[in-house]
Amino acid sequence: MVRQENLKKIIGIPRAISYYNNYTFYYGFFKSLGIEIVLSDKTTTKLINEGSKYVVSDTCLPVKVFVGHVINLLNKGCNTVFVPSIQSTGYKINNCSKIRGLPEIIRNVINRPFKMIEPTLDKTEGFGIKEFCFETAHQLGIRDKKLINSAISSGREMYNRFLEMAKSGIPHGEAVENAVKGNYVLKKMSLVKPLSVVIMAHGYNLFDERISMNILNKLNKMNVKAYTCLDITRTDAINSIHELDEIQYWANELDLTGTAAYFMLNKKIDGIIALSAFGCGPDSLMVDEIQYHANERKIPMLHLNIDEHTGEAGFVTRLEAFTDMLERKKRKQLLQCNKPKNIEIAINKKQIQEPKVLTKVK
Amino acid sequence: MKAKISERQLNKYSKNMDNTISAKDRIIAWPRMGRIDIPLKALMLSLGAKIVIPPANSNEALELGVKNSIEGICLPYKLNLANYIMALEQGANTLMMFQAPGSCRLGNYTKMAQKTLKKMGYEFDMVIFDMYQSKMKQTLQAFWHVTRCINPFKYYKGFSLGFNKFFAIDEAQKLLFYTRPREIHKGDAEKCYNKWLNIIDNTNSISGAKALVKRIRKDFANIQINKNKYVPVVYLLGEFFVLLDPYVNQDIEKTLGESGIEVQRQIWFSEWLEGVLKPSFLNKKESHRQKCVRNARKYMKRAIGGESIETIGDAVYAAKNGVDGVIHILPFSCMPEIVSQNILNKVSKEEDIPILTLVLDEQTGKTGYITRIEAFVELVKRKKIMRNSEMKKKKEDLVNV
């Protein structure tokens, strides 16, 4: 007994799939359970190649990346890996099969001895967040109810803080870092940019700098404001999907259709950029859905498909062409109006209305 | 909040039924898959509805579907859409389709098809069998909505005709797969099968339909077969639509049967229908799915949608019961089957069974496809001979000692 308590428990979290949306929750949860977290390295081309050796070629890029990260963790000497299976996030709102079966893929594809922590989140069957966390803790050998409950609430706290920070406009990576360190930073104000677009993409595609080819930075350099799924709340996303007369079918749908629908309906954006992995089943449908509504509203849309061979040069060219087109369109719109000066002022006023005070806790 | 959302969704689904077309003017059509048109035709006709049957899936249909659907969607949707278009061109105004949420992209088919067809300028009403709530009730409701038939005897007649025809077709196919590799005169089994399809189609009485299965068995027993022939058995697993539609799988059963292999397909429409519509307390036997879940436990602990767990379970079952090989077919970019493809690699190694995976899409070339099947057939046959000779040796050794 004494030995077990003295042994420090370590869990490895791959930097892929659910890391990008839920890492702050996992961090708070595991830290207050007294478990140390090991993260895998950031995604590199080498890591992707390593991952794609293990799975069949038709598997989509994010799963290949996930396998790569698991291998990376194992190479680091971490023998316990956290592989959650997120089946559904609401009644009959299911996830993509590959994400649902992530533990099954990992178990059968990697032939090395290691322990896999594989809790299931399935709200259709009544396994909510609480059951998910309890299962995780049980698999790690922790059975103290009070401890687990307090761990859940501290995880939630950290997660909410991360969401607030991200919503104020802090980039994803920084927000995660600040939340993990316990800082609370809000962005004061943002510069007004001539163009704004919304990017519809899964968190694990968009915030991974290798997979998304750093699209957020590139747009920033091109002087384009990019809205992402972190800029809106969950309820907003659901409501705007309903407003378009659609229903939520996929668990990850809020990242894509929810975000795109919200900005399409409520804010004046100049264009939509869809970023999806090649062979992604849900994305092919969701992008089509938004394309349909964007066509009705005459909003230009760019669909970028990525896989492990995507060349950066072609990617940039397409982005540049798209932004150039948006610029030309906007200029034409402004010129067509009789009083261009007034309109410019109106636009500026609207966008500078929401400055927030910089506050720091701790 | 969450409860509200799900209620809202349910409402949205049931709203789909509109009454703009009166029951008399309705001309009903549904997508093709294998020969499900025969039982459904009997059912609809006995409910007093007018129907249109779109032509069977073909290159032409596929071209039409590919032209009007998005790039990333899977093959079954493309063919379904083509069936709808062809039916609408022939004068149909009511389209029927079932949808099961939570499986895979199938749940989105109807929504997308509706949008696409409306964009193309067709006017129609789509009736959806929604498997969200009680399944039998939903099905009856959908049929009532389409036909406005209130005579319960007609329902009884329709359903018993339909069910019995489903069972008869599946029985005929099973016997065809058994007889084809063993027949002495080539083509006998095929002829017999086609003859029975015609007879099944023309049966119009309940008693006649109930007797079909027995008559089919008798007739197939009359075909001359070579009972002593070594016939390797191959399981056919994979995605539902691809397995059941002979155009999409390029009649793989025929190719295999003619090269002397007995095919045992594991997915049957009648079995599936029974599983869906029969109330669970009437099921005394272990269902196919339960059996698969039990067998697959070593490799898969949870169902992940689609027929993935069935594929794994059947492959393991095949290995344990002396089946000589497994052929796994899936449409390109099918999500659940890609997971099972990943897992099957390990199953093949650990259970020592040859598995061939065939990915089908609209560009599959027939020659390459057949070459791969032929190579696999040779492998399976050689393995069977090796195994038999090993067994003989062992037996001889035992006798000698």
**Residue A85: in which H helix or E strand, if any?**
strand A85-90
| Residue A361 within a domain | no
Averaged over A56-63, what is the pLDDT?
89
Q: Which one of A120, A288, A306 would you mutate to disrupt binding with B, by most B Cβ within 10 Å of its Cβ?
A: A288
**Given its phi and psi angles, is residue B331 left (phi above 0), alpha (psi -120 to 50 degrees) or beta?**
beta
Among candidates A315, A196, A316, A313, which has minimal Cα distance to A263? A196
Domains identified in chain A, total number: 2
Among candidates A272, A270, A271, A267, which has minimal Cα distance to A350? A267
pLDDT at B26: 86
For residue A112, the distance in angstroms to the closest alpha carbon of chain B comes to: 13
ipTM value > 0.85 = yes
Report chain B residues whose CB lies below 8 A from the CB of A88: 102
Q: Are B25 and B93 in contact (CB under 8 A)?
A: yes
Residue B51 has pLDDT above 70, yes or no: yes
pLDDT at B3: 46
- Indicate the residue among A128, A163, A198 that finishes a domain: A163
In chain A, the residue whose alpha carbon lies closest to the alpha carbon of B334 is A281
Residues 71-110 of A with CB under 8 A from B: 85, 87-88, 90-92, 94, 96-98, 100-101, 103-105, 107-109
Q: What is the pLDDT of residues B136-187, one digit of tens each?
A: 777 787 888 888 888 889 889 998 999 999 999 999 999 999 999 999 998 8
Q: Is A255 in the same domain as A299? A: yes
The beta-carbon neighbor of B70 closest among A101, A238, A284 is A284
Q: Is A207 in the same domain as A327? A: yes
Q: Is A99 in the same domain as A19? A: yes
Residue contact B341–A56, C-beta within 8 A: yes
Q: Band of the pLDDT at A283, cuts 50, 70, 90?
A: confident
Residue contact B338–A247, C-beta within 8 A: no
Averaged over A130-147, what is the pLDDT?
92
Distance CA B320, CA A35 (A): 42
All residues at 6 or more sequence positions from A236 whose CB lies less than 8 Å from its CB, including other chains: A258, A262
Among candidates B313, B384, B309, B389, which has minimal Cα distance to B351? B313
Distance CA A331, CA A327 (A): 6
B327: three-class secondary structure by DSSP: strand
Q: Which one of A57, A64, A118, A247 would you mutate to disrupt binding with B, by most B Cβ within 10 Å of its Cβ?
A: A247
Distance CA B82, CA B62 (A): 7
Residue A107 has pLDDT above 80, yes or no: yes
pLDDT at B366: 82
| Residue A178 within a domain | no
Q: Are B376 and B252 in contact (CB under 8 A)?
A: no
Distance CA A110, CA B31 (A): 41
Report chain A residues whose CB lies below 8 A from the CB of B101: 92, 94, 249
Averaged over B350-369, what is the pLDDT?
86
Report chain B residues whose CB lies below 8 A from the CB of A248: 5, 9
Q: Which CATH class is domain B11-148?
A: alpha beta
Q: Band of the pLDDT at A26, cuts 50, 70, 90?
A: very high
| Residue A185 within a domain | no
Averaged over B334-353, what is the pLDDT?
91
Q: Is A138 in the same domain as A242? A: no
Q: Is A236 in the same domain as A145? A: no
pLDDT at B312: 93
Q: Is A204 in the same domain as A150? A: no
Does B100 or B52 have the greater pLDDT score?
A: B52
pLDDT at A282: 87
Does A350 or B290 have the greater pLDDT score?
A: B290
CATH, domain range B231-399:
3.40.50.11900
Q: Which one of A66, A104, A125 would you mutate to disrupt binding with B, by most B Cβ within 10 Å of its Cβ?
A: A104
Residue B396 has pLDDT above 90, yes or no: no
Residue A312 has pLDDT above 90, yes or no: no
With pLDDT > 70 as the criterion, what percentage of chain B qualifies? 93
The enclosing domain of A265 has a CATH number of 3.40.50
The beta-carbon neighbor of B102 closest among A92, A238, A282 is A92
For residue B84, the distance in angstroms to the closest alpha carbon of chain A comes to: 19
With pLDDT > 90 as the criterion, what percentage of chain A qualifies? 49
Sign of CA dihedral A303, A306, A310, A312: positive
Q: Band of the pLDDT at B25, cuts 50, 70, 90?
A: confident
Domain that holds residue A196: 190-351
Residue B11 has pLDDT above 60, yes or no: no
The beta-carbon neighbor of B9 closest among A56, A124, A247 is A247
Residue contact A58–B332, C-beta within 8 A: yes
Q: Is A340 in the same domain as A231? A: yes
Q: Is A205 in the same domain as A86? A: no
| Residue A356 within a domain | no
Q: Is A115 in the same domain as A236? A: no
Per-domain residue ranges of chain B: 11-148, 163-179+182-228, 231-399
